[in-house]
Chain A
Amino acid sequence: MSHGVHGNEKIKVEGEKTLKKTISLVICLLLVVALLVGCGGKEEVTPEVKDTLIVAQGTDVEYLDPHGIASTPAAIVVEHIFDTLVTLDENFEVVPRLATSWEVSDDGLEWTFELRDDVTFTDGTKFNAEVVKFNIERLLDPDVQVLLRSYIIMADSAEVVSEYVVKIKLKYPHAPFLHRLTASSNAMVSPAAVEQYGEDMSANPVGTGPYTVADWVKGEQLVLERNDEYWGEAPAMKTIIFKPVTEDNARVTMLEAGDVDVIVRVPPLEATRLSENEDLVVQQAASTRAIYLGLNVTDERLKDVRVRQALNYAIDKQEIVDVILSGAGRPLDSPLLEEMFPYKKVGPYEFDPEKAKELLADAGYADGFSMTFYYTEGRYLMDKRVAEAIQSYLADVGVDVELKTMEWASYLAFIRQPIEETETQMFMLGWGPWILDGDQMLYPMFLSEQAPPAGSNYGFYVNEEVDSLLQEGTSTTVESERVAAYGRAQELIWQDAPWVFLHSEEQIVAMKKGLEGVVVLPIEQLRLAGARWTE
């Protein structure tokens, strides 16, 4: 740098100095302002009267157009904004909602529903038979993205009989149809809103439910306000706020710190600790999510039923539930769960390593064999520890499995390979239907034609008798015949052991003391419309 500065040059340098100063000052100011803006302004509002409920869910709600949802967190929110024609009550019975009564024709092809005549959407649209017709047609429209179309695909068309009577025709007789209408993805949306918002329907959900969306900051919070025009019993909570908190332990910490009122998916290990906290209540409820070890029955060794049974005997499911899940589960004793229609207890496979070894020896594997066991981490309760436990149980009977973990999207693609390309041998998966009719469990998982890529029979299980029983169970509307067909199917599937039947998960929900009326349904639903503070 020059020392002696004269004349014009000096002025230039002075000018540059001022400029430099100004720039530095502006930068500093910008930083400070940005910092202040970033910090202030977003203070959380604490309500004066206790009529607000803050719920922390595990994942963010992505989509609120009911017809396009497939995730449980979205379904929970949808159930508070929209109504379905029929719904499940606390005893898991199908009860009226927007429909007051229904009847089915003798051939099982025509379902006639009488509708409520006092229901209006929050945009002022009147709810009537036309609306139901519109919704059924939208659910069947191939141009609309309906992820759970399998819940409505049997419908063919809808016909307006009178203003408040609608007839839904089916393509083929489908006994669980009424149950299917309880699924959140089949909720009724406002035709006017669909017309107005089109693809942006999700950002502007308009339903007939007890709440409406007041504010939605993606990734941060979703604020529901009570719908004062609601046709049913007015909910006690004026506001319900859903917050996505991905980390299991973060949800627990937030509840303990009082930042939220209800948390779902409490890690089993934390449940005991939380239940000792006097300010909190832990609620444990059954769920229909079954965890199983899928077996590729086309594998050289796994095609022998004795081997598959041996694997079932080799694993102590009760101990996995007691120790790893801290009791938050039930060992499976049938392909169906107790809450489902028509469950029949056909198991369990008692833990019996000696019997397992005998069966393996019979099948010619007295020295055991090695195999690869695929699973995904962080999706099911304690999945990694469950997989490791299974590995050690199997090692005890001479079956050496190598554990391979994959991230969910890759895992899904891997499992869904068709029979010519599949590399699966043993894989751990969960299945949680949204309805309580056993059809949604048995049909997609065990019917031979549901093998990938068509459906979810990922192990390529084939049993012709099971096939015809499942077809019978899904099509006949005579209840006793359904019970008989499904009962026999459960027995056969159990004996064939296309899965290692593990356990069903329990849902652990924790909340602040003084909160009542929170209903947890086995289909992983959280109903908050009846929730109220008692103290």
Chain B
Amino acid sequence: MSTYITKRLLMIIPVLFTVVFLVFFMVRLIPGDTAEVIAGEQASAQEIENIRKQLKLDQPIHVQFGHYMSGLARGDLGRSARSKRPVMEELMARLPNTVYLMLAAIFIAVVVGVATGTISGVKPYSIFDTLSMFVALFGISMPVFWLGLMLIIYFSVNLGWLPSGGSGTWRHMILPAVALATVPMATISRMTRSSVLDVMRQDYIRTARAKGLTEMSVVWRHALKNALIPVLTVIGLQMGTLLGGAVLTEKVFSWNGLGRLMVDSIVARDYPVVQGAVLLIATSFVFINLIVDILYGYLDSRIRYD
């Protein structure tokens, strides 16, 4: 097991290096220039040149990359071109908000998804099943920004129940969490259904029923326990989708998290912040995957890594 973990940890290094490399060059390929954007329209050419020099953007790109990598090796992500604050500080200020949003979304997705999926799986082809699977299909197919706007129009503008955007209180969290939860909720629901359906046909379920257990106890104690192992895989994979979805959701709901910071920084060509944010998200993604893989080992004794 420990060899496996070590191997996986070592593999993270080339993965993250590739991410850093690609992002570094990709943000610089977008037309537009950091110095021009932050200087504003009233700045003179001389001042723009000055800013470029201060941000070291006047140096050849491979030199810039070298600087960046050597900073990175020392754990220094550089400073934001716009706010001049250390990128790490900027990211850490937003990270908790994104984590809360993701946890709230995954919580909603798991509770609702597993519940509807189980009921559908136990009573396949019932009205509930047809209906919930239709809704789930709808949920998977819906772009999150569109859903977000619809939620805002209905709950904030028309009904006036919830704030349309911003962060700060739990009321601000409801709409973005629901929007973000939709895709994983639908995926989890469909996965749970098929997994429960599969398990319910197994011999040991028949045995459990034959023992005279109540249906509730058959489903709850025997079926679900095994049915949920593949669901866990899906939840792990969904964390990645959530990180991506968070970018759009945060923008739509003005949620003060990493995603919005990243979008705003792309618009302003604040390269160090974009690079830092992508690196942070990629790192989280890689580690979440690793943790999920390790968890299988514990939850399903058939899976062995060594």
Contacts and interface: CB of A to CB of B under 8 A. Distances in A.
Contact of B254 (A16, A199, A247, A407): A247
Interface in B14-59: 30-33, 36-47, 50-51, 54
Contact of A38 (B79, B93, B104, B301): B104
Interface in B272-306: 295, 298-299, 301
A23 B295 CA distance: 9
25 contacts: A31-B107, A35-B107, A38-B96, A38-B103, A39-B100, A39-B173, A70-B42, A143-B54, A145-B84, A147-B38, A148-B40, A149-B43, A149-B50, A202-B83, A218-B93, A219-B93, A220-B256, A245-B165, A247-B164, A250-B165, A254-B166, A412-B33, A433-B42, A440-B42, A453-B45
Given A35-B104, A413-B33, A414-B31, A456 B226 contact: no
Nearest to A70: B40
Interface string A397-425: 00000000001111011101000000000
B85 interface: yes
A200 B267 CA distance: 24
Contact of B106 (A31, A43, A410): A31
* Chain B residues touching A, majority SS: helix
Interface residues of B, number: 63
A70 B99 contact: no
Contacts of B101: 38
A62 interface: yes
B50 A218 contact: no
A153 B46 CA distance: 11
A348 interface: no
Chain A: number of interface residues, binned into ranges: 35 or more
Given A31-B103, A31-B107, A44 B164 contact: no
Contact of A62 (B51, B82, B256): B82
B21 to A, nearest CB: 23
A1 B43 contact: no
A385 interface: no
Nearest to B226: A1
B168 interface: yes
Interface string B234-261: 0000000000000000000010100011
A147 B47 CA distance: 7
Interface in B49-102: 50-51, 54, 79, 82-85, 90, 93-94, 96, 99-101
B54 to A, nearest CB: 6
Nearest to B101: A38
Interface string A272-298: 000000000000000000000000000
